[in-house]
A and B are shown apart, each in its own frame.
Chain A
Amino acid sequence: MSRLIVGPFNRVEGDLEVTLDVEDGVVAAAHAGSPLYRGFEQILRGKHPLDALMFAPRVCGICSVSQSMAAAAALADAMGLAAPPNGRIARNLAHAVENLADHFTHFHLFFMPDFARAEYAARPWHGRAAARFRALKGSAAIEAMPARTAFLSMLGTLAGKWPHTLSIQPGGSARAIEASEKIRLYGLLRDFRRHLETTLFNDTLEAVAALDSAAALERWAAAMPRGDFGLFLDIARDLGLDRLGRGVDRFMSYGNYPQEDGLLLARGVWDGRLQALDAQAIAEDLSHAWMAGETRHPAQGLTQPEDGKAGGYTWCKAPRLAGLPMETGALARQMVAGHPLARDLVTNGGGNVRSRVVARLLEIALILPHMEQWVKQVVPGEPFCAQGEMPAGASGVGLVEAARGSLGHWISVAGGRIANYQIISPTTWNFSPRDSGGTPGPLEQALVGTPVGEGNVAVQHVVRSFDPCMVCTVH
């Protein structure tokens, strides 16, 4: 047995260190380390409750709108506020722009460049992968960047700027949309659709969203060249990415995009069957974090860093649902929402590198057509933001889905000030350390059995298949 410390991992948003125990050329055990702590939960204590709207987005520069959405939801819960339809739609649009842009950025800039590496020079697809995805030089990235910029310019209109808006409010949106702006937003959505349909899928979004099984996906991919998604599927087939990075196969989603009659994507848990999610059963275990205190529900959670604590190996707490680690992200969201392709991929191979990447691209194809409808539903002249007062004493919870998965904010207010503020980010779930029972977190589990070698490319694929956001993780 030998021990290998891998880091810094780039293209993971933030800093990650993975310690691997290697036996017979494969990972026998993995420890995920988050080496950065900033202290947002300590900073927020004692602030005016609405100051959370300024601080929360700055937890994370890539899922900034999601952080704003969770903060606004927690504050709205404490204030007893509900957004009017325009406010709900404007927030959903802003949130979906960020979530889809994050999936798009992950695929083009963070995940695919690994297949352009010299280690793969002998593979039949390497020439295509290198031409399209070589870091900073590949033609796909060069085409993707302006498409991404144009898509994110929707947030110039909807949210003033990205990242770090303050337009997302407990009562809705502070940015009312005018009639001509609806048309501009619609045009930007159609521009992005065109880019996706011509370069990523070589098919309509509706056709991709309608793929209902692994076999249908393979037939679709074999029918004709399928753009960069097709290239990924070729690589996945050749490298067996559906057998790499098997996780804990328990999936959680808080659900997303509230509509007039409930969530567009359902809330729940999948562990072989669909179950209701009991948010009261969430707790953070601190046994292997450099954090003092005992296991608690986040509504009563504590954040007290204790450098050098015995048994600790990360600043990251270990969130568990009813004592169990959960995988969260696009695949989990689509498992819970019941998409047949996601369900079939997981039934025949579980959460793995391929199914996680497929679910992300599937989600782009699924959500963009909804956004085109949402824009049309905005009614200029009707209100965008409900008004209300924060009681001197209150508590609230905001549960939303960021691109990377389930994001929760828990606030309690006393004497008109924040008495406690706790955040559990998606990667806190996915890259959590061991708990007091010694059970590894989802990434730690997924790395077991991964081959180790030159450049540790397989390890890199497993890590990046989760699209980790390490700045969020510890916050």
Chain B
Amino acid sequence: MTAQPLNLVWLQSGGCGGCTMSLLCSGASRLFDQLADAGVHVLWHPALSEQSGAEALALLEDCAEGRLPLDFLCIEGALLRGPNDSGRFHVLSGSGKPMTEWVSRLAGRARHVLAIGSCAAWGGVVAASENPTQACGLQYDGESPGGLLGAGWRGRGGLPVINVAGCPSHPDWITETLMALSLGQFGAADLDKLNRPRFFADHLVHHGCARNEFYEFKASAHKPSDLGCLMENMGCKGTQAHADCNLRPWNGSGSCTRGGFACVSCTEPGFEEPGHPFHETPKLAGIPIGLPTDMPKAWFVALAALSKSATPKRVRENAVADHQVVVPAVKKTGLK
């Protein structure tokens, strides 16, 4: 427990506000009490605080000048450097200054900087196509280290920008990262190679997927609403994407694959430009190009052929229906 509450400032840059909305879906019965109990004091959040206009600007200026201690700077949304490096695609209202300038100044004072969501981490959907606004992340530009702050940037606490990625980020990923930092339970070893908290990034979306029996037998969905595995035809990247979405449910009991649609690997840099339509799996000679992480291709091909030939009728038929058309058999002799 920290004696002095740690000040948190949250800014919304070139994003959709969805990570804030996701945060507010936290399962904690009293979210802000929970954060306060862990020593996190929400000094200003654009969607939640009372201060507006001149009061809010004065507060940000005090943080940027070091008159108020800034412990956590949470940035939601991509950093928009355009047009022509002017930053004018997002000027913080009332200040006349580009948001990129505010973020750079505040980051220079912050103990920890958190990229909330994939836009702030890598650029995200705003950086898709020709990237019309020169969008980037705080410390990454897509997969390339750099971004607004540069690859060498470190906070006063010694850590790089912590990439709480996702589109949106999961409420628990945000609160647990903040609380772990505040309680002194989070260090460099807790970050993966892309500086994402390992507690969620060391899992694959595939882990705990409710479609696992269909995956085992390569019994695949062919169209939206089919129950089968979404990997072979429907563009699902759950076997490659780093996140614990099927172990830690969303909005009570959900996840993308449970919601009937493919994982688009929204925690990964560059997910917005997969080079193929999101709803289709790219294939070479009938084999998906994106194989499960850590799986040699020859093994995958051999196993897929074997499991397809061994698919039970129940699994094969249910895979292409939107409800169970064949239910599991009830054995008469009891389970051994």
Q: A residues bordering B, Cβ < 8 Å?
A: 5-11, 13-17, 33, 35-39, 42-48, 50-51, 53-55, 58-62, 64, 105, 109-110, 113-114, 116-117, 134-137, 142, 145-146, 148-150, 152-157, 159-167, 169, 171-176, 178, 305, 307, 315, 380-381, 383-385, 387, 455-456, 460, 471
Contact = CB atoms under 8 A, between A and B. Distances in A.
Nearest to A181: B253
Q: Which 3 residue pairs across A and B have the least CB separation, nearest first?
A: A160-B259, A61-B18, A7-B94
6 contacts: A8-B46, A53-B279, A109-B24, A156-B250, A173-B260, A384-B322
A11 B52 contact: yes
Given A8-B56, A54-B264, A456-B53, A167 B18 contact: no
Contacts of B27: 149
B66 interface: no
A116 B126 CA distance: 37
Given A135-B50, A383-B322, 16 more contacts: A7-B93, A10-B44, A10-B47, A13-B47, A37-B80, A43-B129, A51-B278, A54-B278, A61-B21, A61-B168, A155-B254, A166-B260, A166-B261, A169-B224, A169-B225, A385-B224
Interface residues of B, number: 81
B311 interface: no
Given A51-B278, A175-B225, A36 B17 contact: no
Given A43-B129, A152-B25, A161 B256 contact: yes
B262 interface: yes
B254 A159 contact: yes
A160 B225 CA distance: 12
A100 B45 CA distance: 23
A45 B24 contact: no
B184 to A, nearest CB: 24
Nearest to B92: A8
B283 interface: no
A178 B254 CA distance: 14
Contacts of A173: 225, 260
Interface string B74-96: 00001010011010111111110
Interface stretch (B28-36, B151-159, B174-182, B192-200): B28-36
B93 A166 contact: no
B5 to A, nearest CB: 13
A173 B262 CA distance: 14
Contacts of B44: 10
A455 B83 CA distance: 33
B291 interface: no
Nearest to A50: B279
A235 to B, nearest CB: 16
Contacts of B49: 10-11, 135-136
A295 B164 CA distance: 42
Interface stretch (B8-16, B140-148, B211-219, B293-301): B8-16
Interface string B278-312: 11000000000000000000000000000000000
Interface in B237-258: 249-258
Nearest to B128: A43
A46 B260 contact: no
A471 B18 CA distance: 10
Given A13-B17, A105-B24, A160 B47 contact: no
Contact of B260 (A15, A37, A160): A160
A206 to B, nearest CB: 27
Nearest to B30: A142
Contacts of B95: 7-8
